[in-house]
Amino acid sequence: MLDEIKITKAIIESYLKDFNKYLESDALICGAGPAGLSAGYYLAKAGVKVVILEKNLRPGGGLTGGGMMFNKIVVDEEGKEILTEFGVSCEKYEENYYVACALETLGALVYHTIKKGAKIFNLITVEDLLIHNEKVSGVVINWTSVILANLHIDPMTMRSKFVVDATGHGCELVKILEKKMGKVLFTTTGGIIGEKLMNAEMGEKFVIENTKEVYHNLFVCGMAVNAVFGGPRMGPIFSSMLLSGKKVAEIIKEKLK
């Protein structure tokens, strides 16, 4: 006989056990798009206690829609290497152009990131940053449903040694920081520079080169990099999203040593 209350208790107790465990972490990633998932995977692979927060019901960000709803993504040779590590099939289109199914990629990224030990909490929005001694030390969170319903309910907090803004074009965390602290960012202007017109080659390079710390203990990866540091957009080629996640994981791994 299945007992409904036992089912409810099992969910609540298991969730709260996980949530309690990850209230403090070594690295906290905001955004479960391709860049955030890749960062989470490589951090977890290195044994880092890492948590990913995603405001939507499902992870994946802009990955699932491919290019203009054609659910395929394109990667170059380097991106293909990462997808192969995740077990994703890549079809060669031409030299240095490989096509993968966006849904297969999403499934593989989520599965392997969790299996490596990263914890993903969906339906949670990061709405502010924790700051101690002028260093980012965590995030302020609330249920996405609370925010959508515009309810007057206080948020709670999660502490982390390093925080990553992987929120894509919106660069949500950096935006909050700039709004509340002014021109303190590690950019040429001290502020958010803003994304430039499309150029796939330049955009891809720019993301990887500029994946770095944007304020003390706050890092950017993925499309947020181009928005913050002023790089070109690149359309539905996804190598740099995966490589940027890998790079930010390597930087944080070094810092934790």
Q: Which residues bind ligand FAD (CB under 6 A)?
A: 30-36, 53-56, 61-63, 65, 125-126, 166-170, 172, 222-224, 233-235, 241
Is 13 or 203 the residue whose CB approaches ligand FAD more closely? Answer: 203
Q: In what order do the strands lie in the sheet with 72-75?
A: 72-75, 97-101, 91-94
Beta bridge partners of 126: 141
- Least distance from ligand FAD to the Cβ atom of residue 213, Å: 17
Among the listed residues 226, 229, 251, the one whose alpha carbon sits nearest the alpha carbon of residue 46 = 251
End-to-end CA distance of the chain: 51
Among the listed residues 100, 60, 62, the one whose alpha carbon sits nearest the alpha carbon of residue 84 = 100
Is 191 or 235 the residue whose CB approaches ligand FAD more closely? Answer: 235
- Least distance from ligand FAD to the Cβ atom of residue 3, Å: 35
Residues with Cβ within 8 Å of residue 226, at least 6 apart in sequence: 195, 196, 203, 206, 207, 210, 232, 233, 234
- Least distance from ligand FAD to the Cβ atom of residue 27, Å: 15
Is 187 or 226 the residue whose CB approaches ligand FAD more closely? Answer: 226
DSSP 136-171: EEEEEEEEHHHHHTT-----EEEEEEEEEE--GGG-
- Least distance from ligand FAD to the Cβ atom of residue 56, Å: 4
Among the listed residues 65, 74, 62, 75, the one whose alpha carbon sits nearest the alpha carbon of residue 31 = 62
Is 6 or 58 the residue whose CB approaches ligand FAD more closely? Answer: 58
Tokens 């960062």, located at residue: 39
- Least distance from ligand FAD to the Cβ atom of residue 114, Å: 16
Inter-residue contact 168 to 61 (CB < 8 Å): yes
Is 64 or 84 the residue whose CB approaches ligand FAD more closely? Answer: 64
Is 32 or 249 the residue whose CB approaches ligand FAD more closely? Answer: 32
CA atoms within 13 A on the CB side of 118: 31
- Least distance from ligand FAD to the Cβ atom of residue 96, Å: 18
Is 6 or 177 the residue whose CB approaches ligand FAD more closely? Answer: 177
Structure tokens at 202: 């330049």
- Least distance from ligand FAD to the Cβ atom of residue 32, Å: 5
